[in-house]
Amino acid sequence: MDKEVRIIGVPMDLGQGRRGVDMGPFALRYAGLSDRLAQLGMRVKDLGNLDVPVPEAAPEVPENGLRHLPVVSAINRRLAGMCARAIEEGAIPVTLGGDHSVAAGSVAGARAAGRVGVLWIDAHADFNTPETSPSKNLHGMPLAALVDGAAKNLATYLTDEQVQPQEVVLVGIRSLDPGERRALVAQGIKLYTMRDVDELGIAEVTRQVLAHFSRQGLERLHVSFDLDSLDPTIAPGVGTPVPGGLSYREAHLLMEMLADDRRVGSVDLVEINPILDTLNGTAILAVELLASLMGQSIL
């Protein structure tokens, strides 16, 4: 496989209250991310980390009650430009978070390069707005900021690029705030909860997801993978763990089927918190899953 992957680290923990996810990019690199991708025959270019201030050094400047919004916005705009440039030059940008607020930048960058389907793999929908969010944490709002018409008051959160509701699918959902639930229904966002995974099986869920993107005429996909979509028994080192998540094999099969589909053109790996982890196991698992997404197979 002669494909270039560009790794972009975003050590961001300004979007949430719990510290630690800013170390995610370092944990993923320590877990052998570049070497694993190189073993698959990919050309790997690590662009290093964007400069992200720690919360103590970042001016809060609350805007709509949201802490650090100007700083997060500026970082996301820079990330969007890097992701768009990578895609336009034929590379696959892999964004290493950091909290999930970074997806507002990476998805905007993917959209700047043309229409894109967004697969949001997460325990949470991240579809809150300043009005509906109980915590006002920005990592619970990036998808609302990205979807056209969902939250106009979050326009400064990212670039001007947005996606249409029918271009988004969520998988692994099991924790929603009341306002998110109403907004998701109102926008007609397609989602698969863990009950759907239990009833249908992850293979059928994945087939339905891919068929949906095909019906929308989407030839390129962005996978935004929050490690808290996995069950905490296999991935304890995450920002906001929720019991009852995807199993090891469910997650690998999802990645393998996406690889077979050959439409994934950009990826996020977010919300890894090494402070809560055991022997860097969550980052190691994330690297294994990314390898499956990039085409590693048993035969």
Residues taking part in catalysis: 100, 122, 124, 126, 139, 226, 228, 271
Residue showing tokens 């400047």: 61
Bridge partners of residue 171, in order along the sequence: 121, 192
Phi, psi of 232 (to 5 degrees): -60, -20
**Cα separation of 121 and 69, whole Å?**
24
Q: Give the strands of the sheet with 117-121, arranged side by side.
A: 43-49, 4-10, 92-97, 264-270, 221-226, 117-121, 168-173, 190-193
Radius of gyration of the CA atoms of the chain, in A:
17
Residue showing tokens 């009950």: 195
Contacts of 289 (CB under 8 A, 6+ apart): 225, 251, 252, 255
Residue 53's identity, in one-letter code, is P
The angle formed by the CA atoms of residues 33, 37 and 39, to the nearest 5 degrees, is 120
Contacts of 51 (CB under 8 A, 6+ apart): none
